[in-house]
Chains A and B, each alone.
Chain A
Amino acid sequence: MNVARENILSRVRRALRTPGHQPLAPTGQTIWPAIDNPWERFQTEFAALKGELITDLPAFLAGFPRIASDVPSVPGNSSVHDADLGVTGCDCVIAQTGSIAVSTRSAGGRALSVWPPVHLVIARRDQLVPDLKSAMDIWRTRYDGSWPSNLCLITGPSRTGDIEKILVMGAHGPKRLAIHFHE
């Protein structure tokens, strides 16, 4: 019997015998504005985050001698830890925030999308969803009952503003984040 667990839970239950004051009920109003053109919105958000939209994939890949890849169409030649570029798939792409949803299952584990200095995502146009809520729905539909051990919404390259709020890219994770959509 775990004493700390029982003590904490019994203190919680004792405290909750007195019901708390209810806050004002929300009105149920929509809190987000409608997204008219998800594709346009994604491009705007992604560009503002300093993400790179890649159209000429071979030309882009030619810039990287050591590639670690989880995507069959892009052959890799390096381990994750030595790679200049990590290539992964994703679960979906989110217009509202310009984010890319990945998981250990869709993006080849935990390190591939965060350790190499550049991260390239290969996605399909039909993976674009309007908002965060739809991304959660995709995750739930795909994984409920058997979740991957790690999931992430990636929104732009790694960044920090810890020094005088000056924005610096590539604090610990990728300095560059790129996405290529194939039809």
Chain B
Amino acid sequence: MIAARQFEIDAAGKASDLRHRAVIQKNMASYDASVTRGKARFADWSEARSQAAQIKWQTINHLDQYLEEFERNVLANGGHVHWAETSADAQRLVIEIARRHGVRKVVKSKSMVTEEIHLNEALETAGIHPIETDLGEYICQLRHEPPYHIVTPVMHLSKADIAETFHEKFGSPLNATAEELTMVARHQLRQEFQTADMGITGANFLIADTGMIALTTNEGNGRLTAALPRVHVAIAGIEKLIPRLDDLALFWPLLSISGTGQAITAYSTLVGGPRRDGEPDGPHEFHVILLDNGRTRLLADIEQRDALHCIRCGACLNACPVYRTVGGHTYGTTYQGPIGSVITPHLRGAEEWSHLPFASSLCGACTDVCPVRIDLHHHLLHNRRNTTQRRLDSRLQKIGFRLWAWFMRSEKRYRLAGEVLRVATPLARPWTKTRDLPPMPEQSFREWWEQQ
């Protein structure tokens, strides 16, 4: 209930924060224009989505086989595979690997799954210093803020905000341009890349038939993280599998067009193990940690199993009128927006997170943009139903709906309710404080009809 109350407070604050709204609208307008151009590259975008949905359906519904195939091939490539049932298991595995190699400093490429398992806090507690290298994540780390968006971590910050942070930390000018700020980060982080003992990444895809992970970054930090340190650890949810390397000819453009509008991300990288004999560089060890952390619970929910198709492109966040209004931090979750409201109650428990599916207008914009055709808005509805069935909804709401049903069941009572409500509009003050209510017409529809 604490999370629900916090959501209400934060949502109310952000919804009326005009500065926040201006920054988000600017970012979203740029995203929308870019995605429209990106989609025009396809002869048939709708068919591309159907093909992707089919491939993910095939994978998720035979997940055990693909997991085993992936594991077999990673081992054959000289890598190690670990399995983690919970966040704590995954943290422990990473720390064990780090300790074995005497790791003191870690460079990280942007990874939402490491946010999900709160890896940075765990590493710091263990005396290991993690450094985020994606520019957006680096800014988040400097500001001690969680990412605002799964793809664009600092979408909520203006250039001036970021210049201020860099000014405090590095003494760069307050009027620095985006390019100057990026070069400050480049300079700082190049030193970290050269001195880090271990690289940690997520994985955008796990490829079963070649035992590789696919990593996409625009900045090149993913490549450097996998190239320079002695050890590379990749952490991924078990749902990230795709069957074949060739599937990437579809999934790489699909992910980047939905994520940013680019035809393909600047660096679409495949890592298939540690440095091999004859190769000049690369880590000596390569580890993959396969994380469950509630995903098998979602798999067992036959109605919502397709939520595991998600490739974390962020399109549903950007399309969602609620996300655009209340902002990413309000959700209080690793995965925000519609997909977050669908999966979080499964991953983190319905008791604490059952309010999220109600933060939706059910308009279906999320379902329309999903590149793997997840039936998002129906799943939001399913979660609402689950909440009601488990009696997790509030008593006030229940009384409200019972009253509504009672008035609706009799013509007389309905008429009476109408008359009362026409004069009782001041009671709607909490609702109208931030919304417009059109003035009541002098006549009700019934009165008007009777005069005709």
> A56-64, A120-128, A166-174: which one contacts chain B?
A166-174
Given contacts A15-B296, A148-B279, A163-B178, contact A173 B267 (CB under 8 A): yes
B50 close to chain A: CB less than 8 A: yes
Q: Which of A133, A158, A159, A172 contacts B246 (CB 8 A)?
A: A133
Is A163 a contact of B162 with CB atoms below 8 Å?
A: yes
By a CB distance below 8 angstroms, the chain B residues around A105 are 279
Q: Which of A4, A108, A160 contacts B89 (CB 8 A)?
A: A4
How far, in angstroms, from A97 to B183 measured CA to CA in the complex? Answer: 27
By a CB distance below 8 angstroms, the chain A residues around B41 are 32-33
B89 vs chain A, min Cβ distance (A): 6
Is B50 a contact of A114 with CB atoms below 8 Å?
A: no
Given contacts A25-B54, A160-B182, contact A155 B267 (CB under 8 A): yes
By a CB distance below 8 angstroms, the chain B residues around A164 are 23, 26-27, 158-159, 178
Q: Per-residue 0/1 for A168-182: is the Cβ within 8 Å of any B Cβ (1 yes, 0 no)?
A: 101111100000000
Closest to B291 in A: A8
Is A12 a contact of B67 with CB atoms below 8 Å?
A: yes
How far, in angstroms, from A29 to B62 measured CA to CA in the complex? Answer: 25
A69 close to chain B: CB less than 8 A: no
B85 close to chain A: CB less than 8 A: yes
A114 vs chain B, min Cβ distance (A): 5
Closest to A150 in B: B271
How far, in angstroms, from A80 to B139 measured CA to CA in the complex? Answer: 28
| Interface residues in B, total, Cβ within 8 A | 103
How far, in angstroms, from A161 to B153 measured CA to CA in the complex? Answer: 11
How far, in angstroms, from A164 to B275 measured CA to CA in the complex? Answer: 37
Is A162 a contact of B134 with CB atoms below 8 Å?
A: yes
B187 vs chain A, min Cβ distance (A): 11
Is B266 a contact of A155 with CB atoms below 8 Å?
A: yes
A72 close to chain B: CB less than 8 A: no
B264 close to chain A: CB less than 8 A: yes
Q: Per-residue 0/1 for B255-282: is the Cβ within 8 Å of any A Cβ (1 yes, 0 no)?
A: 0000010111111111111111001111
Q: Per-residue 0/1 for B152-176: is the Cβ within 8 Å of any A Cβ (1 yes, 0 no)?
A: 1110011100100000000000000
Is A172 a contact of B306 with CB atoms below 8 Å?
A: no
Chain A contacts with B in 32-54, Cβ cutoff 8 A: 32-33, 45
Q: Which of A31, A158, A168 contacts B51 (CB 8 A)?
A: A31
How far, in angstroms, from A158 to B85 measured CA to CA in the complex? Answer: 36
Is B212 a contact of A147 with CB atoms below 8 Å?
A: yes
In the complex, which of the residues B47, B194, B263 has the most CB atoms of chain A within 10 Å of its own CB atom? B263
Mostly, the A contact residues are loop
Closest to B93 in A: A4
Q: Which of B67, B185, B280 contacts A9 (CB 8 A)?
A: B67
How far, in angstroms, from A9 to B67 measured CA to CA in the complex? Answer: 8
Is A173 a contact of B265 with CB atoms below 8 Å?
A: no
Is B281 a contact of A157 with CB atoms below 8 Å?
A: no
B381 vs chain A, min Cβ distance (A): 16
Is B296 a contact of A8 with CB atoms below 8 Å?
A: yes
Closest to A131 in B: B249
Is B182 a contact of A97 with CB atoms below 8 Å?
A: no
Q: Which of A20, A80, A133, A149 contacts B271 (CB 8 A)?
A: A149
Is A26 a contact of B223 with CB atoms below 8 Å?
A: no
How far, in angstroms, from A163 to B271 measured CA to CA in the complex? Answer: 28
Q: Which of B219, B228, B253, B281 contacts A132 (CB 8 A)?
A: B253
Given contacts A12-B296, A132-B252, contact A174 B220 (CB under 8 A): yes
B450 close to chain A: CB less than 8 A: no
Is B83 a contact of A4 with CB atoms below 8 Å?
A: yes
By a CB distance below 8 angstroms, the chain A residues around B212 are 147, 151
> B9-17, B297-305, B408-416, B420-428: which one contacts chain A?
B297-305
By a CB distance below 8 angstroms, the chain B residues around A22 are 57
How far, in angstroms, from A133 to B48 measured CA to CA in the complex? Answer: 14
Chain A contacts with B in 101-141, Cβ cutoff 8 A: 104-105, 108-112, 114-115, 131-133, 135-137, 139-140
Is A97 a contact of B266 with CB atoms below 8 Å?
A: no
Known: A18-B302, A31-B44. 11 other contacts (CB 8 A): A11-B296, A12-B238, A16-B64, A16-B299, A23-B57, A23-B373, A104-B280, A109-B279, A149-B275, A151-B269, A166-B159
Can you offer 11 A-B residue contacts whose CB atoms are under 8 A?
Answer: A11-B296, A12-B238, A18-B302, A97-B253, A110-B282, A115-B227, A155-B264, A160-B136, A164-B27, A172-B133, A173-B221
Residues of B within 8 A of A (CB): 23, 26-27, 30-31, 41-45, 47-48, 50-51, 53-54, 57, 60-64, 67-68, 77-78, 82-85, 89, 133-136, 139, 152-154, 157-159, 162, 178-179, 181-183, 185-186, 189-190, 193-194, 210, 212, 218-221, 223-224, 226-228, 238, 245-246, 248-250, 252-253, 260, 262-276, 279-282, 286, 290, 292, 296, 299-300, 302, 305-306, 373
Residues of A within 8 A of B (CB): 2, 4-5, 7-9, 11-16, 18-27, 29-33, 45, 80-81, 96-99, 104-105, 108-112, 114-115, 131-133, 135-137, 139-140, 147-166, 168, 170-174
